Structure 1
Amino acid sequence: MANPSQYATEHHDQFLQELISFLKIPSVSTQPERKNDVRKAAEWLRERCIQVGMSRVELFETEGHPIVYAEWLGAGADKPTVLVYGHYDVQPAQKDDGWDTDDPFVPEIRDGNIIARGATDDKGQLFLHLKAFEAFMKTTGAFPVNIKILLEGEEEDSSRNLPAFLKQHRELLDADLALISDTAMFNANIPAIPYGLRGLLICELIVEGPKNDLHSGMYGGAVANPIHVLSRILASMHDDYGRVTVEGFYDDVRELSSDERAQLARIPYGEEELRKETGVSASWGDTQYTIVERMGARPTIDMTSFKGGLLGDGIKNIIPQKAWGHLTCRLVPYQNPHKIFELLQKHIERHSPPSVKVTLKKYSADEAVLIDPRVAPMQKAVDAFKAVYREEPLFTLVGGSIPIVKWLVDDFNIPVVLMGFGLPDDNLHGPNEKFSIEQFRLGIQTLIKYYESLAE
């Protein structure tokens, strides 16, 4: 009889076809018109959890989208319990965004990649755990450890209903460690294990001027243009070297130790890699820090959307009634997002003329998180990656945010291991998102090794 690794190899094509069917579901959590599709994705996962042999599978309703929960606790009380987290919702996508495929939700296989929205973030990566579980159950009839799986449908919408669920079901979710696959490696040959994630503050900045749109010929020069004001406010937040100029913004920033800087310096990523990956002509930002440090260990302020005036095609010669957009801050350990919000408010007030009304609204606020890389579950992840990739992974700081990590570390007091298999050029959140088919294969093999090691 085949062992789990052999089973996964023999059923690779079948696993891939199942993933394709999952990716066809447009589970965009932030678009109300996709509500039924998000539920369809949850129901699809529920059926797959049943099929692979989970002993308990439930769909929990929330005020938003449902949460999928599954468990298998047959390993016994002497074995650890692992809580696996993933999210089945995805970012919005349409062909006009720049997709080379006919439809972002009709997966295509090209150049060794599966191209579709959610391929790497996070449908493809969460699916690895179900297939690793299946490989054990089909070959040995049991799993090495106890496992609980929590799959949410609102991660791309700030996980707004997850905190209440975690609090309400604290005993149900009790575990010895949490395992998440929603990050990326440095390249196809060098694995990465994050030991920190940046926090995230999301705001909406609104500038209101006249009571309605005005003719720019009649009122230009006499009435402040909200687009101009919003632009000036945004420009005031950085100096010419990319440093944030909001007073107090850096006060609580955790500085890297010399050992950390040396570790991050080993990461094979610099100017050339950034240019190739993003298509920009040069990097930007505070040159006192390396690109890797800027991307994971330093805080940022970015405007992620900007609206005002005529939003459709054509020309409309007006002074618009308002201009608005979304402002996000990626924060590092020890920065309090609520304090940063107050600092932003004060800065904006100082740079706003009396001729307009400026409002800053806070949508979500999540702190950064640090994980001790020396704990046993992290070191076992190192060994699992080495066994499959034949290369020792590097510990890194990740610029993105996964809200549940902070909650699990602080409230559940358990280590969280981030074992991601995406690649830097997977274009998550962008057009032509992809997941390497080879990474899909190796990811399952690595998780099989990891789960085996946890039982030892």
Structure 2
Amino acid sequence: MSFNRVFRIVVALLVLLVGVNITNAQKLTEEKLDAMAAKYALQSFPMLKDLLSIPNDAIYPEDIEKNIKWCEKAFGDRDFTTTRIETSTVPLLLAERKVKKPKKTVLIYLQIDGQPVDTSRWFQKDPYIPALKMKNAEGEWEEMDWSKIGNYDDDWRVFARSTSDAKGPAAMFLAAIDAIDDNKISTNFDMKVIMDFEEELGSPRLPQAVIDNKELLKSDMLVIFDGPMHITNKPTLVFGARGIATIQLTTYGPIAPQHSGHYGNYAPNPAFRLSQILASMKDDDGRVTIPGYYDGITIDAETEKILRAVPDNEKEIQDRLQIGSTDKVGRYYQESIQYPSLNIRGMQSGWINEKARTIVPDWARAELDLRLVLESDPERLISLVKKHIEGLGYYVTEDTPTKEERMSHEKVASFTYEISYQSFRTDYNTEIGIWLKEALKNAYGADPIMERMAGGSIPISPFVTTLDIPAVSVPTVNRDNNQHSPNENIRLGNYRDGIKTMIAILGQKL
């Protein structure tokens, strides 16, 4: 065979190969992605319902085990190998899938556990029996037969615990895997999917698990499929999240509740004392009054430009929250979440409502949370709060005070805290940011909204710091999903588009 003939054959083969690559690329046009997402959303609804039907409150390990087994089977059926990363309570689950000649290894984070439920405040039979609902003429959510989901409207919703936070995104991811497999869409990176079953407890075992399994988890970048999209419900990328720490503060009165007629005006009321402490921590504009609390935070011109690029409508945000004014920590929403927060997440003393009684309570308790940012050291912030309380004349102990402590100090309080995890933040122009931005632009025909920081917290900093990798969140769920509250839900249009987003990312070459 002549050289020229061999050359022509080689050229023809190259043209053919290029043609195949173009064909593969054409499969991920916006129109193709829309069609695939629609198909695989419908196909995956039974899977979504099945997953949501498994109770997943992390304080019940026997229920978590059912979720772990479900995930092992779901990922195993899709050619992932699974490994349990044992901890002192429940394991993390790692699912891996490799390709030939990978360019990178992408770690993907999914949360499977959910918040506790108060069944009395859910408008359905059971939070773990998914309910399909649409708004009726009066604007109220009305339950429909599940069989109607095959002809769903985008604004219909599925109500169940963890629909949005975050089993919905997990089901989207599995549906996206089915789509790329069935349509032979190749990836050029290895996937490691880490599933967290204690996120709503603050992932207390996660940091050590990452340290102990550093080589097993070794990756080049981290994608987090969690959180709500921008309030406009447009494609969103979030490049950071605040960390979280918690404080339990208790003040003390008489050793047991006392008749308010006999001992009112005599026995100090711990609820009033607690209220005075808490009120002293913030001014009327909602700013923390403790000196040094915001030290280290600066909003320079470049940061200001990034924050202002997010298309927030401040009036619309306030209208949705039905608030007539805002705290003045920042001048606008995006700026406000660049600072550490100090929040009262719950208070208790005595009895209220139909159980109210005329007593001087024996104790009063507040649960606080501090949302952290990169520039603030959580130990320093907690120390500032404790010193502030001591400065108000309180003897502060870590334990329930003894009789001797009660009798020898005018004001007594107990103070305990826990640091769950720190904040993380990734620059926009890193490889992961460019990759994800291109994938979403290809899927939706426009650049996604880019947020510097999310207000919520996710336990990502152990991965970022221990594995030394950048991380970006890809939120997919509707913001009005009642996250952490009764009647949590996911909008079906978001569910389908979430699948579309994930197909686009998995099919985008690194």
Contact 2:233–2:478 under 8 Å retained in 1: no
Q: Indicate the residue corresponding to 1:300 in structure 2.
A: 341
For the 8 Å contact 1:213–1:320, the answer to whether it is kept is yes
Secondary structure of 1:306's counterpart equals strand
* Letter paired with 1:258: A
**Deviation of the 1:285 alpha carbon:** 0.5
Q: Per-residue CA shift, 1:83-133, capped at 9, x if unaligned?
A: 111111001122333x33332222122232222111111111122222222
Q: What is the rounded CA distance, in whole Å, between the counterparts of 2:330 and 2:213 in structure 1?
A: 45
Cα pair distance change 1:25/1:283, threshold 3 Å? farther
- 1:365-444 alignment, distance < 5 Å: 365-396=420-451, 397-403=453-459, 405-444=460-499
Partner of 1:109: 132
Alpha-carbon distance change, 271 to 28 in structure 1, aligned in 2, over 3 angstroms: same
Equivalent pair of 2:187/2:508 in contact (CA under 8 Å)? no
Is 2:208 the partner of 1:153?
no
Offset of residue 410 of structure 1: 1.6
- What is residue 175 of structure 1 aligned with on the other side? 219
SS of the residue corresponding to residue 266 of structure 2 reads: coil
Are residue 291 (structure 1) and residue 329 (structure 2) matched? no
In the comparison of the two structures, how many residue pairs are matched?
445
Residues 210 and 426 of structure 1: is their aligned pair in 2 closer, same or farther, counting only changes over 3 Å? same
Once residues 380 and 166 of structure 1 are traced to their aligned partners in structure 2, the CA distance between those partners, rounded to angstroms, is 25
Considering only CA atoms, is the larger Rg found in Structure 1 or Structure 2?
A: 2
Task: Give the match for residue 236 of structure 1.
Answer: 280
The answer to whether the Cα contact below 8 Å between 1:226 and 1:356 also exists between their aligned partners in 2 is: no
TM-score (norm 2): 0.82
The RMSD of aligned alpha carbons is 2.2
Q: TM-score, normalised by structure 1?
A: 0.92
Matches within 5 A, 1:28-67: 28-29=57-58, 31=59, 34-54=60-80, 56-67=81-92
Partner of residue 55, structure 2 = 26
Question: Following the alignment from structure 2 to structure 1, what is the Cα–Cα distance between the partners of residues 480 and 392?
Answer: 38
Residue aligned with 1:185, SS: coil
Deviations 1:136-160 (A, max 9, x none): 2233286442111110110000101
Q: In the alignment, is the contact (CA less than 8 A) between 1:57 and 1:68 conserved in 2? A: yes
Compute the displacement of 1:223 (Å): 1.6
- Specify which of 25, 34, 39 is matched with residue 10 of structure 1: 39
Runs of 4+ in structure 1 displaced over 3 angstroms? 1-9, 141-144
1:321 counterpart (347, 362, 376): 362
Name the aligned partner's letter for residue 260 of structure 1: T
Contact persistence 1:298–1:332 (CA under 8 A): yes
The CA deviation at 1:352 is 4.5
Structure 1 position 220, deviation (Å): 1.2
Q: Give me the whole-angstrom Cα distance separating, in 2, the residues matched to 1:373 and 1:141.
A: 27
CA distance 1:60–1:366, shift in 2 (3 Å): closer
Aligned counterparts of 2:466 and 2:277: Cα–Cα separation in 1: 38
Q: In structure 2, how many angstroms separate the alpha carbons of the residues matched to 1:274 and 1:77?
A: 47
Inter-partner Cα distance in structure 2 for 1:141 and 1:260: 38
Identify unmatched segments of 5+ residues in structure 1. none
> After superposition, what is the alpha-carbon deviation per residue over 1:155-198, rounded to whole angstroms, capped at 9, x for unaligned?
00010111121111111111111111112221455222112211
For the 8 Å contact 1:57–1:71, the answer to whether it is kept is yes
Is 1:260 the counterpart of 2:289? The answer is no
State the percentage of identical aligned residues.
28
Question: 3-state SS of the aligned residue for 1:400?
Answer: coil
